Structure 1
Amino acid sequence: MLFSRRGGPGTRRLLFSLLLLAAWKAGSGQVHYSVPEEAKHGTFVGRIAQDLGLELAELVPRLFRVASKGRGDLLEVNLQNGILFVNSRIDREELCGRSLECSIHLEVVVERPLQVFHVEVEVKDINDNPPVFPENKKRIIIAESRPPETRFPLDGASDADVGVNSALTYRMDASDYFALDTQHNRQQTSSLSLVLRKSLDREEIQEHRLLLTATDGGKPELTGTVQLLITVLDVNDNAPEFDKFIYKVKVLENAFNGTLVFKLNATDPDDGINGDIIYSFRRPVSPAVLNAFIINPNSGEIRTKGKLDFEEEKFYEISVEAVDQGNIPLAGHCTILVEILDINDNAPEVAITSLSLPVPEDAQVGTVIALVSVSDRDSGTNGQVTCLLTPHVPFKLVSTFKNYYSLVLDSALDREKVSHYELVVTARDGGSPSLSSTASVSVEVADVNDNAPVFAQPEYTVFVKENNPPGRHIFTVSARDSDAQENARVSYSLVERRVGERALSSYVSVHAGSGQVSALQPLDHEELELLQFQVSARDAGEPPLGSTVTLRVFVLDENDNAPALLPPGAGGEGRALSELVSRSVGAGHVVAKVRAVDGDSGYNAWLSYELLPAAGGARSPFRVGLYTGEISTTRALDEADSPRQRLLVLVKDHGEPALAVTATVLLSLVDSAQAPKASSGMLAGVAGPEVALLDVNVYLIIAICAVSSLLVLTLILYLALRCSAPPTESGCGRGKPVLVCSSAVGSWSYSQQRRQRAALGRGRPRRTSWPSVPAYLLV
């Protein structure tokens, strides 16, 4: 609507009033439209999207929809332009009957976020129903003796429309004998009577034919007619009469069957059968009256028949006639208006619609979960309903409109604590005693990825035997994720790094699904004693969350290296160690030393020396130290001893099975004259290595003591730290146990250089006591 800027004060006041009206409607939370009934399909009703403050572009993404109680196909919304239009035929009489107010209540629901609007569309009546009389022809018998001004009730017409469209006026054909009288009562019903204007003469006219026409107040006007056939008889002078023309009665809707409603009492001054009265419902009788009431023809008592229901029928109009038994029966008429009083006999009804389920656990407080509507067929206080929600947390009911509520989130959710809620909505009316009903709604809490995978321990220690087959399973990592479905589906991967000159992935691999850690190639204890790396666990949520665990893989030594001879005796059995020995040396004199080293560690590198028996079973005057490899005399040498002694020394380790090598030592016995040279040779060939060997032994002892002390100190510190931690983290408390594995081979994991030094040391190494390694860890 456009307004001229030069409009007068009246125009500005009108504009200001319209703006105030629009602002009041916007603030009330309800939009009101009107549409005439029988409007054609596509008829414009209103710009609903614009009036609700919604953008056209967000109608489809936000799942804009319209719902209505009862028939939901009468109105529709064009999602392209946001216009509400008529979708199918609207018949006001079919929709609301005789009610003066007729509206279609729509619930407009948009989601993301969920919003609810209430729209009322008033259906305006049009004059599409003509007045209708109960009969096409009405027969009336009137005695010629009836005096002028006698009234004969007529059945008025009914019009299905309302308001001015149902306001009826009557007219009748002009007659010298009859006139039409119309009276209106407080119930807005018309009472028609045919009034006799002058006495009838049967001998002159036996039958009168008059056309009664009813016209409604619509535009254009519609009419209905009934033919009045009036027969004039010569019968009874006096008709039964009631003291009132209209009686009013009130009856409770819970009245028992047979309850007395009203007792009729008509009088007839005639005598005999002309004064005997029979009561009956005046025809035509509506089915509602026949189903609810019964009349005693002799006593005139009207009683209930069946069960009354205020919610189905609130008001009855009963037309009664009293007819005498004369030869020419005469009748008297009255109307009884029965008002049905409501009692609290209907429990409230609860409907839960537009469920936004499941609810994400990270949903904001105030998120609308569902719409709740309540209704009660009773009236007054009996129909006033209040709602209660149990349990109270973490949801609540918020009243949005009369008898409409929103179920909203009242506090934060956590699926890992509670994943399912059973809510009960209780509706209770204000009657006495009050009636109630309940409706249940199951609320599932949808998971979001808010928990990262968690390992039972921050690190694991694993022992693996060397020379494992490629692809051998060595350990399985497992992380637990408190989320559900995809958010709890954990995949594993290596945290890549360099191990020396090679990538970690060339040594081990992790199965993404099972977490199995496998060695991709045989591991060599001599090359790699400890392999420390991290495994990452990551879930499949959006965004994904992850954590890591550290694996310490100790490669356990196997006896896969035989002892090797060191120069000058190196080279195996093909090359021999040659030494000069003076015949004058006494018992216990060291004449030579066999030196060997083992590439293994621990007991596998612990070497022992054994002198093999000489050929022919001859007893040798020499012996070899069990752990030193020193060859010494067992007695003083004499002339009987062969000048050339060939000794075979077996060098073996303590592995299972033991590996060995044989060293050949050639000793030349010389006379005392050659002793200086021999002595000089011994100093060069034996004493020199002896001094070096002593130095090696010192270093070896220092190394063994240092490593043992460091290991003991590490164990003490570890136990102290574990026991001082909180119970949930310490191995000494009641927390999760920490897997700690130990080697069965002691602390012999030295570098190649240390093993070589150990092989040169004298004396038997001291055995260190170690706890056994569990069998399932020795892969």
Structure 2
Amino acid sequence: MGIAAYSKKSASAMAGPRREALGAGQLLRWVLLQAAWAAGGGQLHYSVPEEAEPGTLVGRLAQDVGLEVAELVSRRLRAVAKGGRDCFEVNAQSGALLVKSRLDREELCGPSPRCALDLEVLVDKPLRLFPVEVEIRDINDNAPAFAVNEDNLIIAESRLPGSRFPLEGASDADIGTNSLLSYTLSPNEHFSLDLQKNNEQRKSLALVLTKPLDREETPEHRLLLTATDGGKPELTGTAQLVISVLDVNDNAPVFNQPVYEVRLLENAANGTLVIKLNATDLDEGINQHVSYSFNNRASTKIKDSFSLDANTGEVRVKGNMDFETQNLYEIQIEATDKGQPPLSGHCKVLVEVLDVNDHAPELAVTSLSLPVPEDAPPGTVVALLSVSDRDSGDNGKVSCSIGPGLPFRLVSTFKNYHSLVVAEALDRERVAEYEVVVRARDQGAPPLWASRRLVVPLSDVNDNAPAFPQAVYTVFVRENNPAGAPVLSVSAWDPDLGANGRVSYWAVERRVGERPLSSYISVHSESGQVSALQPLDYEELQVLQFEVSARDAGLPALCGNVSVQLFVLDANDNAPVVSPPGSGRGALGPELVPLSAGAGHVVGKVRAVDADSGYNAWLRYELQEPRAAGPFRVGVYSGEISTARALEEADGPSRSLVIVVRDHGEPALSATATVSLSLSERAQAVAWESGPPRAGSAGPAGAMNVSLMIAICSVSGLFVLVIVLYVGLRCPGAPEVTCGPGKGPGASASEAGSWSYSQRQSRLVCVGEGTVRSDLMVFSPVCPSSAENGEAGKGQGLTPNASGQVSFIGLISGVVPFKRCEFVNVF
């Protein structure tokens, strides 16, 4: 038997990306398939005759959907039958659709005029679905068959020519021409056949009496009824008609119409009245009494579904009516009188079952692609769903929807198929999993609905960089810390999962002076702990600024940085040093002192510096043995040696003073200096002092002091002016007092008008105008809290700046009446 296959629409447009280079033949084929597919409405159609042998080619499925042979394995071309009828299979090598098992159109589709099986053809990468319909063509493989091999009829001899006796025609399981039946009757002189069509195009077969019967001549007639179909070759079926002739009751009951049509809802309850029949008999007496019954050839299905009252002719519902199982019943009913012999009248009742909305929609997930990457673009297919409803008309029309507030939407792809696709951007860190409820609702009254719950998890991608909780970490470390001691821990958080959220740390390498950053600190890659690799020296490094980077383990990796400011706090680890350089007990002198010097005469000055800063560099000068000093004293903060009273010859020719220089650290460190003084009567012996000044003129010492003061004030004024201009250009709008890193010279004014410098950390310089006898000390601000400062507040004036930090200004002797105070950042 031949096979006819045709395609209404080529699937090549949906088979995924095409190869870049197409030959001329392939291009022409692709264009033809596109045109055929567009003209056909989106579905592949094939046809195959029933009883085709297994392995028979149905169609070249791969070619029709646009797949190359080399793609068959990777894209997994497969066909899925609906309704569990697995009659076809796809050849994995050639992509051809083949017959898998025996095809019997009558078994598959019954009396339906059209027999077609629906298939779903699926391919992967990307996922595509092609609806395929395979029509099973009928062949003339069923001969006509009568319900009974022998049909007994009783006809009274009084029946007139032209009387009709209905016969049950033969049935043919085939369709079309193969089921068109014609009837013939064996030759006889009394009977003929009459075949008529009613309004439903149904044929009614009747035996017609053409000549009056004579029971005495022929009590019984045996005729052969033959039914022939219209197939090629023709097939026939026969039935024996046995006609018994009786001579009694000559009027049969008659119905008021031969065919009755009734409509009945499928949910009609048991006992519901279908129709009440009425037949009349022209006879009188007992021959007029009629009883009703189903024709003896009525099927069991009819007898199980309906009941008939023999006396009243009422037909009622007996079983459950189901439109989806059978929507039309044809009932043959007889009305028989009680005469001898009894006569019968016949009618046909056609019961049409009407559909009601008694079936809810059915949802099925055909394909599911989970989990969904959180960076999936809109339009990505998550699931493919099929929906069906066994009802008909509006009762079988179904609409689908999902709940609001979800980043998904339903797209109708083919008839009864919907795709769940991504509608907007996803974020796993915000919502890791969605619960999607798909609802299907029909258009019946009342409507019925069904739902399907889908859990859609999201898979993580590396779309979040590690983040630190603060932009800058500030830490204070006291100098001389132990090597390898931790100074702080940094921690970054990455909301991604797995390797995408696993964070490692390292310091961004840079140079600190002449040395690399890695020689100062190290960062633990897992914990983020920052450790100092060596003891820090405040006199070498006051502020260490660097960046710590956090990187996740994703592909590609993402990074985040944070700045760390490490302030080194000063410790009292440097003892004062007397200038000129000396350690321990240094000797200064001998100094010549005139005997004529009065009280308060400056005879010398001890100069000392301390490499520390702030309170640790504030120096105090004391006599080790005050009683041995005699008429001399030393300035507590200036270090100037002066006479406490006028000198006398009894004070001796010379004296040695041991001066102790102490800082204010905890514990305090000190140095000593020995000054030798010689008393002399010669005025020229002391370079900075002469004899008593003359009236109207200043002595040499006074002139030198005045010149020195003028020079110092000029240099200091110029220095302050340069600093003010520099700060004004670099820091416009900055607060008046700031605390920043750097080294600067600290200065203290002596009673004699000279200046001494120490290398101290200086952030605040205050210039004032006051008496020459006042001593002014300037110290660097202490940034940490008072607990870090020790005795920073003892006897000091505290001046907080804009950052809440404190500078120390010590007044050594007297009170400086400030008229002008300028705050300068020294770098």
Q: TM-score range by the shorter chain?
A: 0.7 to 0.9
Correspondences of 1:587-666 after superposition (within 5 Å): 587-591=599-603, 593-613=605-625, 621-638=631-648, 645=655, 647-655=657-665, 657-665=666-674
Closer, same or farther in 2 for the Cα pair 1:770/1:227, shift >3 Å? Answer: farther
Judge conservation of contact 2:394–2:444 (CA < 8 Å) in 1.
yes
Change (3 A) 1:770 1:267: same
Instruction: Verify: 1:506 aligned to 2:519, yes or no.
Output: yes
Q: For the Cα contact (< 8 Å) 1:45–1:84, is it kept in 2?
A: yes
Report SS of the residue matched to 2:152: strand
Separation of aligned partners in 2, 1:436 and 1:748? 76
**SS in structure 1 opposite 2:324?**
coil
Cα separation, partners in 2 of 1:217 and 1:537, compared to 1, 3 Å: farther
Q: TM-score, normalised by structure 2?
A: 0.71
How many angstroms apart in 2 are the aligned matches of 1:119 and 1:160? 26
Whole-angstrom CA distance in 2 between matches of 1:512 and 1:215: 95
Deviation at 1:362, TM superposition (A): 4.9
Query: Pick from 242, 247, 265: which aligns with 2:255?
Result: 242
Does residue 318 of structure 2 align to residue 318 of structure 1? no
Secondary structure of residue in 2 paired with 1:543: coil
User: What is the CA–CA distance in structure 2 between the aligned matches of 1:767 and 1:161, rounded to whole Å?
Assistant: 117
Kept in 2: contact 1:531–1:553 (CA 8 A): yes
State the Cα deviation string for residues 240-273 of structure 1 (Å, max 9, x = none): 4435443332334454543332222233445444
Residues 1:595 and 1:55: Cα distance change in structure 2 (over 3 Å)? farther
- Give the secondary structure class of the aligned counterpart of 2:83: coil
Deviation at 1:402, TM superposition (A): 4.0
1:294 positional shift: 1.6
Aligned to 1:493: 506
Give the superposed CA RMSD.
5.3
For 2:295 and 2:209, locate their aligned partners in 1 and report how far apart those are by CA, in whole Å. Answer: 21
Gaps of 5+ in 1: 1-15, 721-741
Write the letter of the residue equivalent to 2:59.
G
SS in 2 for 1:70: helix
Confirm or deny: 8 A CA contact 1:605 1:759 kept in the other structure: no
SS of the counterpart of 1:758? strand
Partner of 1:70: 83
The count of aligned residue pairs is 727
| Separation in structure 2 between the aligned mates of residue 624 and residue 430 of structure 1, nearest angstrom | 112
Deviation at 1:296, TM superposition (A): 0.9
- How many Å apart are 1:335 and its aligned residue? 2.2
Name the counterpart of 2:822. none
Distance 1:540-1:173 versus aligned 2 partners, 3 A rule: farther
Q: Which residue of 2 aligns with 1:51?
A: 64
Matched, 1:276 2:285: no
Q: Distance in 2 between matches of 1:113 and 1:213?
A: 60
Deviation at 1:295, TM superposition (A): 1.1
Contact 1:127 1:218 in 2 (8 A): yes
- State the partner residue of 2:271: 258
Contact persistence 1:468–1:522 (CA under 8 A): yes
Other structure's SS at 1:354 match: strand
Deviation at 1:103, TM superposition (A): 2.1
Displacement after TM superposition at 1:122 (Å): 1.8
Deviation for aligned residue 1:299: 0.7
| SS of residue paired to 1:563 | coil
Which amino acid counterpart does residue 579 of structure 1 have in structure 2? Answer: P
Task: Using the TM superposition, name which of 663-672 and 170-179 deviates more.
Answer: 170-179
Aligned counterparts of 2:306 and 2:788: Cα–Cα separation in 1: 93
User: Which stretch of the first structure deviates more once superposed, 755-764 or 352-361?
Assistant: 755-764
* Match in the other structure for 2:758: 758
1:535 is aligned, of 548, 560, 565, to 548
Corresponding residue for 2:590? 579
Q: Secondary structure at the match of 2:535?
A: coil
Aligned-partner residue type, residue 500 of structure 1: G
Distance 1:563 1:696 in 2: 28
CA distance in 2, matches of 1:610, 1:448: 73
Aligned-partner Cα distance in 1 for 2:730–2:563: 19
- After superposition, the Cα gap between the structure-2 partners of 1:680 and 1:514, relative to the gap in structure 1 and judged at 3 Å, is closer
**How many angstroms apart in 2 are the aligned matches of 1:503 and 1:224?**
109
Pair 1:260–1:72, CA change in 2 (3 A): closer
Whole-angstrom CA distance in 1 between matches of 2:129 and 2:47: 20
Q: For 2:546, what is the secondary structure of its paired residue?
A: strand
Match in the other structure for 1:553:
566
For structure 1, which segment, 480-489 or 523-532, has the greater mean C-alpha deviation from structure 2 after superposition? 480-489
When the two structures are superposed, what TM-score results if normalisation uses the length of structure 1? 0.74
2:134 is matched with: 121
Q: CA separation in 2, counterparts of 1:663 and 1:46?
A: 114
Choose the corresponding residue for 2:346, options 333, 340, 359.
333
Secondary structure of 2:518 counterpart: helix
Deviations 1:122-179 (A, max 9, x none): 23334555655545x5462636747577665554444444334444556677788877
Please give the residue correspondences for 1:415-426 in structure 2 after superposition, counting only pairs within 5 Å. none
**Mean CA deviation greater in 328-337 or 631-640:** 631-640
Question: What code does the residue aligned with 2:743 have?
Answer: Y
How much has 1:462 moved relative to structure 2?
Answer: 3.5
Judge conservation of contact 2:747–2:777 (CA < 8 Å) in 1: no
Q: CA deviation at 1:316?
A: 0.5
Question: Aligned partners of 1:185 and 1:563: how far apart in 2?
Answer: 132
Counterpart code for 1:504? L
Which residue is equivalent to 1:97?
110
Q: How does 1:284-433 map to 2 (within 5 A)?
A: 284-326=297-339, 329-343=342-356, 353-356=366-369, 360=373, 362-371=375-384, 373-384=386-397, 391=404, 398-407=411-420
Deviation at 1:570, TM superposition (A): 1.5
Alpha-carbon contact 1:601-1:750 (below 8 Å) kept: no
**Which amino acid is 2:45 matched to?**
H
**Alpha carbons 1:143, 1:235 under 8 Å: kept:** no
Q: 8 Å contact 2:384–2:419 — kept in the other structure?
A: yes
1:384-433 C-alpha deviation (Å, 9 max, x unpaired): 55666765997665554444455555666667788777777666666677
1:562 and 2:574 correspond: yes
**Offset of residue 500 of structure 1:** 3.3
Residue 623 of structure 2 aligns with an amino acid whose one-letter code is L
The answer to whether the Cα contact below 8 Å between 2:594 and 2:685 also exists between their aligned partners in 1 is no
Partner of 1:667: 676
Give aligned-pair identity as a percent: 53
Relative to structure 1, is the Cα distance of residues 719 and 626 closer, same or farther in structure 2, using a 3 angstrom cutoff?
A: closer
Separation of aligned partners in 2, 1:59 and 1:225:
54
**Does structure 2 retain, via aligned residues, the 8 Å contact 1:359–1:445?**
yes
The answer on whether the counterparts of 2:292 and 2:333 sit within 8 Å (CA) in structure 1 is yes
Q: Give CA-to-partner distance per residue, 1:490-529, whole Å, 9 cap, x none.
A: 5443322233343323333344455444434433322322
Further displaced range: 578-587 or 261-270: 578-587
What SS does the aligned partner of 1:32 have? Answer: strand
Write out per-residue CA displacement over residues 716-739 of structure 1, whole angstroms, 9 at most, x where no aligned residue: 74569xxxxxxxxxxxxxxxxxxx
- Rounded to whole Å, the distance in 1 between the matches of 2:434 and 2:244 is 79
State how far apart, in whole Å, the 2-side matches of 1:777 and 1:182 are. 126
Q: Which amino acid aligns with 2:758?
A: A
State the alpha-carbon separation in 2 of the partners of residues 506 and 37 from structure 1: 89
1:759 & 1:643 partners in 2: Cα distance?
A: 38
**Letter matched to residue 662 of structure 1:** A
Q: CA deviation at 1:563?
A: 0.8
2:672 partner amino acid: A
Q: Is the alpha carbon distance of 1:764 and 1:410 closer, same or farther for their aligned partners in structure 2, counting shifts above 3 Å?
A: same
Once the 2 structures are TM-superposed, how far is the Cα of residue 60 of structure 1 from its aligned partner? 5.4
User: Does the 8 A contact of 2:583 with 2:671 survive in 1?
Assistant: no
Matched, 1:162 2:180: no
